[in-house]
Each structure stands twice: as C-alpha cells, then as structure tokens.
C-alpha cells in the first residue's frame, strides 16, 4: 500500500466537510499558567462518536465499493466510528468486538445500526475477522494501518492549523499511530517547521522503540489506563512517524491521572485517559514546550463514568 500524503489529508478534509463536526479549539488561562506555554486544545472529545476516530473511519468507508459490507475489529472508538460512517453511507457494518466487551460501547455500536460479533476466543479475533470478511465478501478497514484512515485522522490537525497557523509544536497521544501519522502529514504539509511530538505511556512503550529500531516492536502486556494506546504501530504508520516525528514524551500513569483531573476540574472537559496523555508533558514543564505555542489533539472523551454516577445516586437515596 502506498503511504498517504498531505494531499490525501486535504482531500479527506473536503470529503468530511459537513459530516464530521468541526470541533472547538479551547484555550484556558489556567492551563497556560500551569504549563508556561500558550496552549490550544483541539477538542475531539466533542467529535461525533466522542473521538477523532470518526474522521478516519468515515474517510475510509466513503471510499470503499458501495455494495460491500464493512468489517472492522475494535472494542472501542473505531467500532463506533465505522458503525456511524456505515449508517451515514447506507452500508452494512460488522464489528468484531472481542471480550472483555464494554456493554456501553457495544450498545452504542448497535444504536448506530452496527452488527456486533463476539469471537468465542478473544485470542483468535484476527482470524475470526478474516473469516468474516471472506464469508461476507466484505471490505476490511483497519483501525490505523490504512491510508484512508490515516488521512482522515490528519484532518483534526488541519482544522486546528487553519485557525491557529503559527503553532510551534503539536502534541498527540500514540497507540497504533494513526492519529499521529495523519497529524504529521497535515502539519508538515502546511509548515515543515512545526515540531510534532508523540506522547506515550511508560506502561505501553512500544512506539518509541519501534521508531528507534525501525521495526514494529510488538506491544506485549501493556499496563496503562489509556486503553486506546495499548496497540502496536503498523507498517504504514511507522515510516511516516520515523520521517516526521521530532520526538517522544514518555508519561507515567500518575501524570496521566493528574492531567486528566486538571482538565476535568479546571477546564470542565470530559476527556479519556489517552487525551490526558498528550496534556501531561505540558504540566511537567518539558523544556521543549516552555514559552511555545502548543497545539494538543485531545483524542476523545469516551470514558466510563458509571461508578461516579452510581455513587452520586446512592448518596442521594
């Protein structure tokens, strides 16, 4: 597969106009004061399905043959993105969601008209998915290692830079690298001088090693609250990351939680842990960010708050 380019991101942006939400860019004195930088948060937690993943999913779904059902493997935001994109384009969506399945996410996928498949053996989800593609004569859309998905994810940074062109640095969380690859393409297509840093949990540190060693270092036994970041990079994202990334910021779990809490309590935004991963380097005053104009892609806001509300509810009874 050919690597996607800046022009693919631009074409994706045209395709997504009126379909994706142009999410707000939040600024806050409190965050600027705490980080000693000028920060612009691209709030993809306000995106449809609650995460940037809808951008890539729609961009890929819209370009596949119209008659074929779509198959995807995801327990999270990609599944919701594919399901909604298929509903909007009149396609059938089959989502392979291995155990342990979050019932809220499964219900959300079904609400969008998606057909949920739970493989009997979660270790076998890949071959289960391949068999399903064959059986349905379906189109397979990978969560990040797909040129159309990568180009779609890049449209978040493209929108941000359209409003704030003079950023010095862009930050985003890294899992499979779809968001970061697209962000790199968008940023450097507009301005090669923008520095792009990947933010990765110390407990799931495969992307950093993959980029260093120029091979896909598998993610084994990841230990992080940022569940969206527990995957390895792919054959398409790795070369883009190697070419474009300025570097990595590695963040500890306590930093993720502290950043999440800061954003909830001070900025009043519900964000998922992966989104907080990209805020954490600002709060610890990374020298590369001091005094800079920094854009942050807040990946999403899909987080399980049921225990919080159950407790509030019990407190009332």
Give contact residues for its own copies (rule: CB under 8 A). 24, 26, 29, 43, 45-46, 48, 50, 225, 253-254, 257, 260-261, 264-271, 301, 305, 307-309, 311-313, 315-316
Please identify, using beta-carbon distances, which residue of 115 and 258 lies nearer to its own copies: 258
Please identify, using beta-carbon distances, which residue of 287 and 315 lies nearer to its own copies: 315
Please identify, using beta-carbon distances, which residue of 25 and 136 lies nearer to its own copies: 25
Coil, strand or helix at 220: coil
Q: Count other C-beta atoms under 10 Å from residue 123's C-beta.
A: 9
Residue 243: CB minimum distance to its own copies, A = 33
Burial class (CB in 10 A: 0-12, 13-18, 19+), 91: buried
Residue 257: CB minimum distance to its own copies, A = 6
Strands 115-117 and 139-140 come out as unpaired
Give the whole-angstrom CA distance, residue 109 versus residue 215.
34
Give the whole-angstrom CA distance, residue 230 versus residue 289.
26
Give the whole-angstrom CA distance, residue 1 versus residue 244.
19
Give the whole-angstrom CA distance, residue 315 versus residue 269.
24
Residue 197: CB minimum distance to its own copies, A = 24
Token pair listed for 181 = 């690859």
Residue 296: CB minimum distance to its own copies, A = 15
Please identify, using beta-carbon distances, which residue of 208 and 276 lies nearer to its own copies: 276
Residue 114: CB minimum distance to its own copies, A = 17
Please identify, using beta-carbon distances, which residue of 168 and 253 lies nearer to its own copies: 253
Please identify, using beta-carbon distances, which residue of 84 and 198 lies nearer to its own copies: 84
Token pair listed for 151 = 């180009």
Residue 121: CB minimum distance to its own copies, A = 27
Please identify, using beta-carbon distances, which residue of 220 and 309 lies nearer to its own copies: 309
Q: Count other C-beta atoms under 10 Å from residue 24's C-beta.
A: 11
Residue 2: CB minimum distance to its own copies, A = 35
Please identify, using beta-carbon distances, which residue of 203 and 234 lies nearer to its own copies: 203
Strands 25-26 and 38-43 come out as antiparallel
Strands 195-201 and 38-43 come out as unpaired
Closest to 45 measured CA to CA, from 307, 222, 310, 302: 302
Residue 202: CB minimum distance to its own copies, A = 12
Give the whole-angstrom CA distance, residue 265 versus residue 259.
10
Give the whole-angstrom CA distance, residue 285 versus residue 135.
52
Please identify, using beta-carbon distances, which residue of 136 and 225 lies nearer to its own copies: 225
Residue 311: CB minimum distance to its own copies, A = 6
73 Cβ contact list (under 8 Å, min separation 6): 95, 96, 98, 125, 126, 129, 143
């Amino acid at each position: 597969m050919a690597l996607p380019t800046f022009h693919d991101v631009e074409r994706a942006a045209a395709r997504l106009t009126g379909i994706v939400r142009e999410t707000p860019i939040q600024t806050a004195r409190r965050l600027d004061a705490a980080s000693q930088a000028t920060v612009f948060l691209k709030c993809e937690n306000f995106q449809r399905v609650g995460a940037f993943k809808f951008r890539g999913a729609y961009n890929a779904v819209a370009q596949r043959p119209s008659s074929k059902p779509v198959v995807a493997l995801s327990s999270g935001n990609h599944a919701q993105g594919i399901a909604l994109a298929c509903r909007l384009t009149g396609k059938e969506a089959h989502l392979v969601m291995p155990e342990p399945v979050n019932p809220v996410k499964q219900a959300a996928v079904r609400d969008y008209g998606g057909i949920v498949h739970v493989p009997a053996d979660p270790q076998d989800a890949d071959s289960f998915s391949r068999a399903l593609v064959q059986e349905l004569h379906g189109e397979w859309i990978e969560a990040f290692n797909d040129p159309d998905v990568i180009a779609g994810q890049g449209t978040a940074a493209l929108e941000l830079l359209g409003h704030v062109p003079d950023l010095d640095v862009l930050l985003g969380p890294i899992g499979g690298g779809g968001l970061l690859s697209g962000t790199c393409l968008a940023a450097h297509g507009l301005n090669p001088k923008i520095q792009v840093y990947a933010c990765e949990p110390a407990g799931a540190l495969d992307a950093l090693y993959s980029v260093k060693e120029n091979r896909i270092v598998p993610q084994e036994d990841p230990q992080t609250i940022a569940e969206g970041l527990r995957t390895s990079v792919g054959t398409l994202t790795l070369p883009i990351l190697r070419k474009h990334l300025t570097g990595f910021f590695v963040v500890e779990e306590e930093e993720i939680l502290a950043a999440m809490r800061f954003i909830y309590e001070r900025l009043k935004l519900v964000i998922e842990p992966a989104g907080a991963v990209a805020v954490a380097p600002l709060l610890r005053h990374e020298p590369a960010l001091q005094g800079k104009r920094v854009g942050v892609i807040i990946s999403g806001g899909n987080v399980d708050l049921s225990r919080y509300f159950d407790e509030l509810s019990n407190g009332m009874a």
